[in-house]
Amino acid sequence: MNVFDFDNTLLRGDSSARFFGYCLLHHPRMWRDIPGQVVNGLLFLLKRRDKRAFKQRMFHFLTLIGDVDRAVDAFWQRNLPRLKAWYPPLHREDDVVVSASPEFLIRPACEHLGIRVMIGSPVDKRSGTFLGPNCQGREKVTRFRARFPGQGIDKFYSDSHADDPLAALAREAFLVKGERLMKWDR
């Protein structure tokens, strides 16, 4: 099987940040949460808040969105063209996405690409609360092994060396820079 990161790998940009921006434009109630979001961002930049806590506070904006599923669908109608062109010719039936993005957010894009198995951060789409660990770094390996015990990865693709632990499981790994695929330096 081939395994892919999602943001900046299969998608140009970060889906969570883009969804936040999309909702900010289309759901004016979100504007009342901007002061809290600014404080959240500053605490994260000053290293007073870890990434999971930062993301959980950021996703608090979901409480201000009436129908999250409808917002996600509308978001992908506009953002599916941001999916990278190099992927479809490589698509296999057993492809897997392992991402730090929330599962509820990236699932529709994965379905569009024909990717049936997607592992992401478990985030409640109504509250923004994390229901488990943020799926990043070594947690990606833990989640992959739990889902596919004893199975290996043929090829792995990511835009970031933060995914070195998952790349180490693959027979071949590729670093994605824009539309270019380069061999992973191990």
Examine the domain organization and report whether 147 and 68 are in the same domain: no
Examine the domain organization and report whether 142 and 72 are in the same domain: no
Domain of 26, in residue numbers: 17-78
Q: Do 134 and 121 form a contact (C-beta atoms < 8 A)?
A: yes
Q: What is the pLDDT of residues 121-160, one digit of tens each?
A: 999 999 999 999 999 999 999 999 999 999 999 999 999 9
Examine the domain organization and report whether 72 and 160 are in the same domain: no
Going across the sheet that includes 96-102, the strands are 117-121, 96-102, 2-4, 153-158, 170-177, 180-183
Examine the domain organization and report whether 134 and 56 are in the same domain: no
Q: Domain of 177: which CATH number?
A: 3.40.50.1000
* For the chain, percent of residues with pLDDT exceeding 90: 99
pTM of the model: 0.94
Q: Do 3 and 117 form a contact (C-beta atoms < 8 A)?
A: no
